[in-house]
Amino acid sequence: MRYETLHNLRIPKIGFGTWTIGGETIANPAQDARSLIALRSALALGYTHFDTAEYYAAGHSEELLGQAIRATGLAREALFITSKVSPEHLGYEDVLHSCGNSLRRLGMDYIDLYLIHWPERGINLPEAFRALNKLVTDGKVGHLGVSNFNLKLFQQSVALSETPLLTNQVSYSLPDRTCVQNGVLDYCQENDILLTAYSPVKPRFIRGNKTLQALAKSRGATPQQIALAWLVRQPRVITIPMSFDPQHQAENLAAADLDLTEAELVQFA
């Protein structure tokens, strides 16, 4: 596994996303067994960074993640847990309350990385960061970040955070390079901030891209692994793919160690 190291942290290039664990926008207990199997498999394979949110399955994703982690007996310090506060909860007291609820659902004393999930029109960033900074001071959150922020809001967030902002989590993949075009990726790389790529694998694109298919075949890898390797080959870029399938989980994790040459990379420039 490759890592990004900054601010005394060593974060895996590839983590595990939990969108659809336990449901989508509402909890779906009928998915619990399948969700727990997926989480236990990921933990057994060696994933250590798990990304969740209060929005995922209305908090049930956090509950299941905490349950799966406790069952392993792993030391809390061996894991890096990210969660997110929803935009309707960005008032000062609301942020504190949301974080408290996430900690209770996870069954943890602290969250390693806490993000604003996405911005809404009229967002009061100073008020939100007043609460977020307090959470860090109080030891309930280790590091702060944002998600789905454009460059202007991102820069404002960096200025408002009393500790170095750790990441901007955005959609980034071979066919979706919005963060390149809008300057967010450059800003991250120039300022020692992680860009966390969500939705890193686009199945329709992968099925239809002959270059990707041919390269995967020549390297004895899957096209999904090539797509992930292309992402994590870049400095200060990490990603959080998700799969319920243990084989796909293992393949995703192994993609971090797949070296793509400059000649291979230029095919996707």
Q: What is the pLDDT of residues 5-36, one digit of tens each?
A: 999 999 999 999 999 999 999 999 999 999 99
- Give residue 145's identity as a one-letter amino acid code: G
Structure tokens at 178: 């919005």
Q: Which helix (H) or strand (E) holds 82?
A: strand 80-85
The pLDDT value given to residue 235 = 97
Mean pLDDT along residues 76-85: 98
- The sign of the torsion formed by the CA atoms of 91, 196, 178, 156 equals positive
Which CATH code for domain 3-200+237-242?
3.20.20.100
Q: Which amino acid is at 85?
A: V
64-87 average pLDDT score: 97
Token readout for 218 is 């020549």
Neighbour-count burial of 26, counting CB atoms closer than 10 A to its CB (0-12 exposed, 13-18 middle, 19+ buried): exposed
Residues 159-186: pLDDT tens digits? Answer: 999 999 999 999 999 999 999 999 999 9
Quote the longest CA-to-CA distance of the chain. 55
Q: Which residues are catalytic?
A: 56
User: What is the average pLDDT across 105-109?
Assistant: 98
pTM of the entire structure? 0.97
- Confidence (pLDDT) at 269: 87
**Do 179 and 236 touch, CB atoms closer than 8 A?**
no
What is the tens place of the pLDDT at every residue in 212-236? 999 999 999 999 999 999 999 999 9
Give me the half-sphere count of Cα atoms (radius 13 Å) on the Cβ side of residue 267. Answer: 15
Q: What is the DSSP code (8-state) at residue 260? A: P
List CB contacts of 152: < 8 A, sequence separation 6 or more: none
The whole-number pLDDT of residue 34 equals 98
Integer Cα distance of 262 and 264 in angstroms: 5
Q: How many helices (H) and strands (E) would you count in the chain?
A: 12, 10
CA dihedral 135, 137, 142, 143 (to 10 degrees): 80
Distance CA 25, CA 209 (A): 32
Per-residue pLDDT reduced to its tens digit, 117-135: 999 999 999 999 999 999 9
| Amino acid of residue 84 | K
Q: What are the boundaries of each domain within the chain?
A: 3-200+237-242
Q: What is the pLDDT of residues 133-147, one digit of tens each?
A: 999 999 999 999 999
Q: Which residue from 163, 160, 124, 168 is spatially nearest to 141, judged by alpha carbons?
A: 163
